[in-house]
Structure formats: C-alpha cells, structure tokens
Chains A and B, each alone.
Chain A
Amino acid sequence: MKPRIGVYVCHCGTNIAGVVNVEEVTNYAATLPDVVVARDMMYTCSDPGQNTIKEDIEKHGLNRVVIAACSPKMHENTFRKTLASAGLNPYLLEIANIREQVSWAHFRERDKATEKAKVLVKAAVAKARLLEPLEKKEMPVERSVLVIGGGVAGIQAALDLAEAGLKVYLVEKSPSIGGHMAQLNKTFPTIDCSACILTPKMVDVANHPNITLLAYSEVVKVEGYVGNFEATILRKARYVDEDLCAGCGACADACPRKVPNEFDVGLGKRKAIYVPFPQAVPLKYTIDPASCLYMKYGRCKLCVKACPRGAINFDQKDEEVKVRVGAIIVAVGFKVFDARKIPSLGYGKYKNVITGIELERLSNASGPTGGVVLTASGERPKSVAFIQCVGSRDLNHNSWCCRIGCMATLKQAFLIKEEDPDAEVYVCHIDMRTAGKGYEEFYRRLREMGVRFIHGVPSEIFEDADGKLRFNVFDQTTGHMIELKVDMVVLQTGLEPAEDVEKLQKMLNVSLSPEGFFLEAHPKLQPVEASTRGIFFAGCCHSPKDIAETVAHASAAAAKAITLLSKGKVDVEPLTASVNPEICSGCEVCTGICPYRAIQLMEYEGRRRAKVIDVLCQGCGACVAACPSNAIEMKGFTEKQILAQIDALTGG
C-alpha cells in the first residue's frame, strides 16, 4: 500500500514555538514525499489535537502519522491510542522529538533550531514510509507473588496481596519475620509500642491461607519473565522439625551454650538453640550450627532430652524448593552504618558510646536490660548526648540523608526524659529534619521538655578517667565552643543498602542507584517498579524510609503487582528483536550480550539457533548490533528503516 502520511508539528504552547518557527517546519513537511497533510497545532496531545488527527486519518485516508513534538517517552503511547481509535495500527506512528532535542537544547540559536527541526521531521517521514503494522501479544500469568524479605515492608505487601486473593510466598532469611521494626522499642511521633503494632501483622501472615511463609530461607535463583517467574528457594536446616516444634522453649532452657544475640545487636545473649525474640513468627526454634556443642564437638544433645515432642533432628538437611510466580516484590530492607568506620567518635573503644539501634534494644522491655537504659557500669545515665548524621551526609561514607535519624533521636530523647526528667539530654545536629505528619510538633515538644539542641557536631570524643565522655562542639547558634561531659553518647548511625542487594541485583536483573539501593523505573511516576517488568521494590531497599513511608511503599508495590496479575495475562510489546534462523550460525554472541537474558539457543532444523523470548526482550537492540551474521532484526527499528532515517539526516 502506498504510504499516505500526515505530519503534525506541535507548538507545545511556547515550549517549541517560542524557539522553532513551527509554521516553516510545517510548510517544509508538506513538501516531503508521500506527505498528504501537514499541520501545526497548539497542543497536539490535547483532545482537539487528537481529534484533528483522527479526522485526517478518515478524511485523507492516512496510513502513517508523524508527530513532531516532545520526546516519545512523554506521549508516544497517547498517540498510539489515537491511531488505534481511528482504526489504524498503532505502530504506524513515528515521533520527531523537536522539544527536548531542539527547542530546549538550542534556545539561543533559533534559525539553526528551525533547520534541525526540519531535518528531524524529514528523517521521521523517511522512516515512517517504511513502517509496518505490528501486533501486541498476550501471555498468561501466574496469579502468585514472591515477596523477598519479611520486615514490615514484606509483611505489608504479603498481606495486601493475600487479601486480594493472590497466592504469596514470603521468604525471610532469618529465623523469624519482623525485621528491624521488631527490634525497635517505640515508634515516632506517637510513641506507639513497635512490637504492639507489628506483631498482629506477623501473626496475620502466619495464619493467612494465601500466604506460604518460608522463614530461615533464601532465594538462590530466579528464572523466567514477567508473569512466569520460577524461583528456587533454599530452606536452611533449622535442625528442628517445624511441624513438631510447639515453641515451648524447653530446649533453650536446657541448652548450656550462650552466645551474643544478633537481634539485640550483640548486647544480650541467646542460646545455641533459640528464637530471636519472644514474639517470633514462626515460633519455631532454630539451632545455630556454629555455636551448638553437639554439632561442633559431637557431645551434648541436652535439647533432645528436653524436647517433649521429639522435634529436634540433627539429620535435617538444607532443602531447595521451586515456586512459580507472576511477580516479585523485593523488600530486603537495609543495614545500619558501622560506627567503627569513624574511630574518632570512639564507638567500639569507649563502652558508653553506643548507637541508636543499641539504645532501642536497651530501652526495650524485651531487651537485654529489661527496658532500662543503663551505662556499661550498670547505672542510669544522668546525661546523654546524641550525635546526629553519623556516617550519613558524609562523602567519606554515605552521601545520603538517612531520613529517620532526626526523628529516631527525638523519640529516644523523649524516652530518656520520660524515664528521668532530670537527665540532661543534648542533641548535636547538622540540621534537624522533621518533615512528616506530626513530626515538627514532636520536635517542639522535645524542646519544651528541655532537650538542648546544639547546631554543630563534635569531631572527636574522649573518655575521662572517671569513665565520663567528654567532647567539644562548636555551637553555630552562639558562635561558642561548648565543652560537654556526659555519661553516654548515642551515635545516630545511618542506613545503607542491605548486604544481599548486589546478589539480588544480578539474580533479578534489576538496576542499582549509585548509592547501592534498588533503582526504580521512574523517580516520580514509577516509584515501586523495577525497570524489569514484573519486579517491584518495597521499603528501605529502595531508599531510606520511616515505617509509615515503608508501609505506604509496600502497599503501593502490592497494588502494582495486583494490577499486573489481575487480568490473568500480560501484554507483550511487539517492538522486540527477532532472529532469522536461516542466517543465524548459533555463535551465541547475542545470548551473552543480552542484558535481559532474553535469547536462548533452540533446536531449528537439527541445528542450534538463537531465539528471542518475546516477553523478556525489552527491545534495546544490543543483539542486533552485536550479531556478526546480521541475522537479528528489531521490529519497528529495522535496518532499512534506520538507514532511511540516517540518509535523510545526512542529506541523502
């Protein structure tokens, strides 16, 4: 069919027309081969703009449309729908970007800008003449979701998904779900008990018929693509039969071996057979093989004698299970900055220099001191100084703001003042950042309670002979150097990416930001989606967040997964690569180069030939460029089409 092309040159208000002579470009477009109609429009994306295109398609029998406007990232989909609603295949559309690439870039050179716009329109028309109709495909999806990480983000996402009727596999690497939130004492700014609001959700997870909880397990392999992932999960041996263990704790009572409890950040002790904290879910005991006397030395087994249900099984082996899921939500959280990296602040050297998370455990009723904050010598501190932004907003360590340190300090200062109104509490800060509902009010409340805020942070902390900590801090408000002597220093350490992030990044084929957090598809408009379809992020693995933000983010990720899977099928973009098996030599250059692992070798007439899995292909074109036999073509960007474009651009 002979091409009949309509060209629409957009003013975009003054965004384009303020620089480019739109009328001149339109008149020029009308002279190009096969162009039947050329118009300029104030706002092509508006309803009247789209209606004009539809009318022209009908009236002039257009079978190709060229739009010279903003980036295709903005409105390509809009105009594809316009074409479709006029009965034209939506892929018979070509966009010339004369806003980002012309008017915004060359606003000081109007004449040259107009010339460049003309050439881009010419190239677009040259390509449009060769466009072919393409059809979207549909693929069935698994109505189930893998949630990686059982902190509050994973818990919230799992519950939302399960309530929507999807099957959920919640994988948590430690023996219990709960994450960092389970370690906290109170939450800001309401001073709600953290466990009191979290544990009901944990129990819901355990009881929900749609959730399979795989605690003490790790995802080791993920294959497949949106709608059809297959994940391999390693279930680590607890050496305790989960079905038999009733969580009575007789084993731990009998166990003679005490080791530092990770859950108490090493401040408290646990046994070699343990649950990390009393409200653990699942409430199943786990033997830590590195500390168990029997597993190390072959003698003991006191737990076996103590267990009334015969649940202990030293022969248990790690197991692999495979699950098929349609989407994956990554919610692996964060880790806390190691304050030893800044030795001048004395953490690890002076016993009464502690971190914020340690103070959480000390002030928590289930913590090592039964909820009483005590110094190393076992006394209640009469004076405490908080040091903000330790390791955060620091180009030597973490460049970013941890986002929760200011509020965490205010909350902890509140707890100290509440316990002992006479305690002297100082907060040495860079800025106090208290953006959030009710947060600024909480900050004022702390000032009213008599907490002293010093605008400035110390650079070095010393311990005096009497065990007190002494430091200088320059108070910017008064211009005075203040010397403080306190019983306890709390370093408010920042958040950084979890250890598993890089492993998961490779496994899931997703991107990381320069800071090492997972990178979303769009910072404003797709804050939970990975650039790989079917994968979503929830919580602090994406960027530091407080609990309220984490829960909102997790619910958003769940909603996106539900949206994706609710139709039971996914659309597959037709703009994919395809291999001509007649030409392909099976050299495998493309399989290695494909960043989406979308190319596999398949049997074709008795020989091994490359084949593109359409659902996985993102249309990046890397394989097309790499193929030494020229056997791969990109639909919508064929060699012929691109050469025509280049010829037009270079004056051919």
Chain B
Amino acid sequence: MLTLNETDRLLEELRESIATLTPSVCYSCARCSSGCVMVEAGCIPHSIIQLFRLGLLKETEKGLWPCCQCLKCDARCPQDARPAMLILALRNLLVARGHAPPKGYIVMLENIVRHATIQPPQEVMNKDFDFVSRATLGLPELGKPTNMDAFRRNLRKIASNLLEAEEK
C-alpha cells in the first residue's frame, strides 16, 4: 500500500504522459461501472479509481486489461474524473515496470494487424468460448478494409508517430 503522498506523487508522474488525469474528484457514484461492459470481466472503473487513491496499486491490476477503452465512462462521468484515462495510465505504468500485458491482449493486437479487428472477423465466439464461423450461424459477412496493405501502412505510420512523439 502506498502512502497518500506517494500516491499523489505517482499521479503527478502519470500526468506527464496523460495530462487529463483527474481521479481525485471522483465521488464514487459508480455511474461508470454501471454502464461498463467489462465489469463482469473484472474491470470496475470507480473501484479502480478508489483503489488507486487509497494507494492499493497492486489491487488495480486485475481490472486494467479487460477495459476496451470505449470511453463511455469518461463521457458519462458527472465529475469529469476520467476513469478510462487512469486505466490507460496504469497500464502504461505496468508495462514500463516490465509487466507484460496478458497474452490475449497481444493476440488481439496481432488480430488488428492481420484482420483490422480484434478477432478474426468471420468468426464468432459462442457461449462455450469456441469460435464458429459466421456463415454457419447464417450471419452476413462483415466488412473490412478493402486494402489491407494500406491499412497496415497507416497503422505503422500512427505507431511511428506515437513513438516519435514519445521520443521527443
């Protein structure tokens, strides 16, 4: 457990990469968590904020990676506390400290490069966590970038811009 002053100092540090971190103003109404699609997966935004504020950094870890950064919580927060930004910042912190993100997360990133979506677009995960093709369920095919090469080029451009920005 961090002391409150350590937590405050850490917050200042995190603000260097994400300036809009304002977790202190949260009053725990839980509107973010009530609307979060990842609560069942362990991501409880208002709780992550409070754990962070109380210096329980380790306890936040479980909830960080399921977040899909849909930013609904940030948009809906009545106090502009921006839970999604804190989650992002804490993920960066974990990676910077040498923790690898969960394997599934890497697979998702690879899928984006390969298919432009986080899972193979013509497959659907069923209740038993098996992948079945959309066609067998009678679902229409989903669209994807017509020019995958251009898509990947642009991805690379975005990534290198980000890296450059970070180097500066």
Contact = CB atoms under 8 A, between A and B. Distances in A.
Contacts of B54: 452, 454, 475, 478, 480, 482
A450 B4 contact: yes
Interface in A419-477: 422, 424, 432, 443-444, 447-448, 450, 452-455, 475, 477
Given A422-B5, A424-B4, A453 B56 contact: no
B27 A479 contact: no
Interface stretch (B44-52, B90-98, B100-108, B112-120): B44-52
Q: Is the interface of B mostly helix, strand, loop or mixed?
A: helix
Contacts of A475: 50, 54
B163 interface: no
Interface string B14-36: 00000000001111101000000
A453 B81 CA distance: 15
A482 B47 CA distance: 13
B53 interface: yes
B4 A478 contact: no
B8 A443 contact: no
A478 B24 CA distance: 15
Contact of B51 (A432, A448, A478): A478
Interface string A291-323: 000000000000000000000000000000000
Contacts of A478: 47, 50-51, 54, 56, 59
Interface residues on A, range: 10 to 19
A432 B27 contact: yes
Nearest to A443: B27
Pick the most buried of A447, A452, A475, A477: most chain B CB atoms within 10 A of its CB.
A477
Contacts of B30: 477
Given A478-B47, A478-B56, A480-B51, A453 B5 contact: no
Contacts of A454: 54
Contacts of A480: 51, 54, 56, 59
A477 B4 contact: no
A452 B59 CA distance: 17
Contacts of A432: 27
Pick the most buried of B3, B26, B54, B56: most chain A CB atoms within 10 A of its CB.
B54
A444 B25 contact: yes
B59 A447 contact: no
B5 A424 contact: yes
Contacts of B26: 447
A444 B79 contact: yes
Contacts of B51: 478, 480
Pick the most buried of B24, B25, B47: most chain A CB atoms within 10 A of its CB.
B24
B73 to A, nearest CB: 15
Pick the most buried of A422, A453, A454: most chain B CB atoms within 10 A of its CB.
A453
A479 B51 CA distance: 10
B5 A452 contact: no
A450 B51 CA distance: 14
A413 B4 CA distance: 15
A479 B47 contact: yes
A432 B27 CA distance: 9
Contact of B27 (A422, A424, A453): A453
A449 B30 CA distance: 21
A480 B50 CA distance: 10
B3 A453 contact: no
Interface in A367-385: 383
A447 B27 contact: yes
A478 B28 CA distance: 10
Contact of A448 (B24, B50, B53): B24
A4 B48 CA distance: 79
Nearest to A449: B24
A454 B53 CA distance: 10
Given A422-B5, A424-B4, A455 B28 contact: yes
Contacts of A424: 3-5
Interface of A: 383, 422, 424, 432, 443-444, 447-448, 450, 452-455, 475, 477-480, 482
8 closest A-B pairs by CB: A424-B4, A477-B50, A477-B28, A478-B47, A478-B50, A447-B25, A478-B51, A447-B24
12 contacts: A383-B4, A432-B27, A443-B27, A444-B25, A448-B24, A450-B4, A450-B8, A454-B54, A455-B28, A477-B46, A478-B50, A478-B51
Given A477-B46, A478-B47, 6 more contacts: A424-B3, A432-B27, A447-B24, A477-B30, A478-B56, A482-B56
